[in-house]
């Protein structure tokens, strides 16, 4: 089937009229390259934020989670529903477009979790979806993923959230890309395909501090948000010596501690 592509981008989110109106598509897609890139970035960002969204949901549901929540007259329960509703809607959305690709294109995602599907759509399926025979599918895809990322970001990182950079290298490994430039992807159990090679990750660690929740953050790599060290692990003496740089780790604990999120009694600092 021959598909007719428009000259101008079919996404309602393209450049507004006062700035020159929709950009040109280039003739092989219903949307312009900028909108296509944004769709990819929005889904990648959504995948990266997914663990933070889950963590926030867990915190909201903990017995003390609803207490420090302030503003907007909302109760913890309302907030819980809003955050879980956002997570549910985003999971439904990536599942919907994934099912469409599986049914119409015959491609199979490496794993079925929402973050894996989002990453797979972003990296492998976005050009195909933007050039879908049905222009409505392409335009909806671009708009839907923009909305989903906006909602997920607001839910995972409420206003006042700050990320601090820690004087600590990432201690995880990164897979080496395949010869064709694509990246190996782990399955839902975190298993890598046979033959995957690894190098030490060059990233540095960060901690994201929420204004309204008193939980200890994961340490997260700035290059790969999947590289996380949960509090149970990074507060353990064993992990600190494993980090190989006692001085840096010591400063790390002080940095996080002065941000006021840690219960001092729960932190064991080696001196």
- Nearest-approach distance from CB 130 to Zn ion, in angstroms: 10
Q: Does 142 bind Zn ion (CB under 5 A)?
A: no
Subset of residues 16 to 45 that bind Zn ion, contact rule: CB under 5 A: 23, 31-32, 35
Calpha distance 179→13 (Å, rounded)? 36
Between 60 and 122, CB nearer to Zn ion:
122
Strand 228-229 versus strand 219-221 pairing type:
antiparallel
Among 137, 201, 261, 267, binds Zn ion (CB under 5 A): 201
Between 221 and 243, CB nearer to Zn ion:
221
Q: 229, 217 in Cβ contact below 8 A?
A: no
**Rg of the Cα trace of the chain?**
21
> Contact letters (x/-) for Zn ion, 161-180, by CB under 5 A?
---------x-x--------
- Nearest-approach distance from CB 259 to Zn ion, in angstroms: 21
Calpha distance 118→153 (Å, rounded)? 14
Calpha distance 53→221 (Å, rounded)? 16
Calpha distance 69→203 (Å, rounded)? 33
Q: Does 130 bind Zn ion (CB under 5 A)?
A: no
- Nearest-approach distance from CB 42 to Zn ion, in angstroms: 13
Calpha distance 253→60 (Å, rounded)? 25
Among 30, 40, 210, 227, binds Zn ion (CB under 5 A): 227
Under rule CB under 5 A, how many of the chain's residues touch Zn ion? 14
Between 48 and 201, CB nearer to Zn ion:
201
Among 161, 224, 245, 255, binds Zn ion (CB under 5 A): 224
- All residues at 6 or more sequence positions from 147 whose CB lies less than 8 Å from its CB, including other chains: none
Calpha distance 182→184 (Å, rounded)? 7
Residues that bind Zn ion (CB under 5 A): 9, 11, 14, 23, 31-32, 35, 170, 172, 201, 203, 221, 224, 227
């Amino acid at each position: 089937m021959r598909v007719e592509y428009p000259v101008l981008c079919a996404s309602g989110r393209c450049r507004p009229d006062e700035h020159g109106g929709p950009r040109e598509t280039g003739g092989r897609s219903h949307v312009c390259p900028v909108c296509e890139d944004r769709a990819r970035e929005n889904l990648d960002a959504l995948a990266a934020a997914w663990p933070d969204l889950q963590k926030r949901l867990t915190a909201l549901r903990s017995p003390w989670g609803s207490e420090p929540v302030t503003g907007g007259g909302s109760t913890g329960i309302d907030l819980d529903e809003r955050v879980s509703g956002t997570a549910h809607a985003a999971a439904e959305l990536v599942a919907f477009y994934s099912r469409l690709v599986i049914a119409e294109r015959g491609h199979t995602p490496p794993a079925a979790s929402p973050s894996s599907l989002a990453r797979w759509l972003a990296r492998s399926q976005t050009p195909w979806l933007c050039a879908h025979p049905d222009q409505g599918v392409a335009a909806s895809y671009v708009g839907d993923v923009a909305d989903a990322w906006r909602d997920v970001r607001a839910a995972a990182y409420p206003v006042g959230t700050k990320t601090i950079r820690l004087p600590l290298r990432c201690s995880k490994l990164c897979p080496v890309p395949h010869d064709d430039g694509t990246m190996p992807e782990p399955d839902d159990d975190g298993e890598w395909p046979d033959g995957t090679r690894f190098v030490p990750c060059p990233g540095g660690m960060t901690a994201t501090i929420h204004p309204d929740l008193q939980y200890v953050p994961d340490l997260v790599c700035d290059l790969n948000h999947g590289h996380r060290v949960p509090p149970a692990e990074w507060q353990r003496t064993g992990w600190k010596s494993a980090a190989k740089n006692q001085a840096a780790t010591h400063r790390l604990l002080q940095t996080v501690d002065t941000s006021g999120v840690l219960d001092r009694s729960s932190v064991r600092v080696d001196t």
